[in-house]
Amino acid sequence: MGILIKPLVTEKMTIQGDKLNRYGFIVDRKANKLEIKNAVEQLYGVTVKDVNTASYHGKRKSRYTKAGLLTGRANHFKKAFVTLVGEDKIDFYSNI
């Protein structure tokens, strides 16, 4: 679980999983497409057809409190969109 941090379970990704056989993951920022492909194939026992990635830069955040203005930043992260071959499926809800 060093490369794959968590799956993206959103309404949009659920629809893409049903229609396009595509699933999303939050991954390590230093991971490349080959490492992501191997990690998904080993963890879920499926065959990966294609991997697309998107890197997101953390936004600056600020809020007003009794102590004054607090500033900070949201974390940087990377998303990977994995398309599977044929009839392969990933069921994120099987462990519940």
User: What is the structure's pLDDT at 5?
Assistant: 95
How far, in Å, are 47, 54, 59 from residue 79 at the CA level? 19, 5, 16
Quote the pTM value.
Answer: 0.86
Res 62 pLDDT > 80: yes
Domains defined for the chain, CATH in brackets: 4-84 (3.30.70.330)
User: In the predicted model, is pLDDT for residue 40 greater than 70?
Assistant: yes
The answer to whether 96 and 36 are in contact (CB under 8 A) is: no
